[in-house]
Amino acid sequence: MVDKNTVGIIGAGAWGTAVGKAIAQKGISVQLWSFEQDVADSINNEHENKRYLPGTKLPDTLTATSDLIEAASRKDYIILATPSLFLLGIAKQIITVPNIMEGKSTIGIITKGFLPGEDKPKPIVEVLENYLPGFYKGNLVYISGPSHAEEVAQGMLTGLISASINPKNSIRFRELLNSDSLKVYSSLDVVGVQTSAALKNVIAIAFGAIDALKEDSKIFGDNAESLVLAAGLNELMLLGKAMGATHPETFTSIAGVGDLDVTCRSVHGRNRRFGRDIVLKGIIDPYDNIDEILDNITKLPYLPEGVAACKMAYQLMLAFNLKLNIINFVYKVLNKEYTPKDALESILFK
């Protein structure tokens, strides 16, 4: 049990709110930062995030603000939870907060994806270490695992990995998050956990597309979905190894196969839903390529983070000269080079 600590969570989406609730239920003071004022008002006045996590009662120890600097100030722990597209801009805004400038806050990240680098995309932790004060080099904590926000918010049993080069910081977040329903395990493989978290969203888009196609197909069924799941795990391992993952068992743990499985199969998964909507609803029909989708990503009814991750994973695939059929498949579909059905025949199962 972590006593007498304050926590700031930067991002009041479903996942940030669910993590905030899990911590606040332990009697710890948690303040969420919300970009939308109505979300902050809903949390403060009605103890519910009606926009992103409706129907979940939030404890009094969880409050919200639309003031980013306030949310990051005077906090023992800061958790970055904004989507990857906006994460770097947010980090640049909070680096002047005194407790961050002085390295007094322990910082964790629950955002999934990659960030742009000078020559090729990089893991989130690596990029943030170059912007945050030097105290944080090797001290950031990355947290991931099979953890849909809806189930975490309901107190359903969930496992997470807390990964850091600094084992003490990994343990600090493990203790902060641990509860009867939330089980957290430590890891030193920061790159492997991050790669798994980013790529599983890309694989889930492919899985969703096949799930939709099998409704009117004699070719695609449960066997094909399991084939994609297993091949997807292999691509996680190949790209993770190329990027510097240190522990092969990361990919067979809840950080790898566990998160991949739930993201592909659960009805809560936005990226799985996005793959289905590409096939069944033509959700990307108005756009000419992946860049146009990303430029208009906030206009979609939900945010599929696998789109940004796919573009960067494709760049990494080329940079490392890897053959990753699922990543290639999803990229070519999002870039409007193939329809999902044609891409399946021409790329994925070739």
Q: Are residues 71 and 32 in contact, defined by beta-carbon separation less than 8 angstroms?
A: yes
In angstroms, the CA 19 to CA 25 distance is 10
Neighbours of 275 (CB within 10 A): 30
> Which domains does the chain possess?
6-188 (3.40.50.720), 191-348 (1.10.1040.10)
In the chain the first and final C-alpha atoms are separated, in Å, by 52
CA distances from 2 to 35, 79, 175, 300 (A): 28, 15, 6, 39
Q: CB–CB of 264/201 below 8 Å?
A: no
* Model pLDDT, residue 221: 84
How much is the pLDDT for 344?
A: 78
pLDDT tens digits, residue range 36-55? 999 999 999 999 999 999 99
- Is the distance from CB of 236 to CB of 255 less than 8 angstroms? no
CA 144 – CA 250 distance, rounded (Å): 11
Active-site option among 75, 112, 122, 200: 200
For residue range 52-80, list pLDDT tens digits in order: 999 999 999 999 999 999 999 999 999 99
CB 337 within 8 A of CB 251: no
Bridge-based pairing of strands 106-109 and 29-33 is unpaired
Our measurement of the distance from residue 267's CA atom to the centroid of its chain's CA atoms, rounded to an integer in Å, reads 17
Answer left, alpha or beta for residue 228, where phi above 0 means left and psi between -120 and 50 means alpha.
alpha
Dist CA 176 CA 261 (whole Å): 26
104 is catalytic: no
Q: What is the 3-state secondary structure (H, E, C) of 163-214?
A: ECCCHHHHHHHHHHHCCCCEEEEEECCHHHHHHHHHHHHHHHHHHHHHHHHH
At 196-249, the pLDDT tens digits run 999 999 999 999 999 998 877 778 888 888 999 999 999 999 999 999 999 999
Overall average pLDDT of the 256-271 stretch: 95
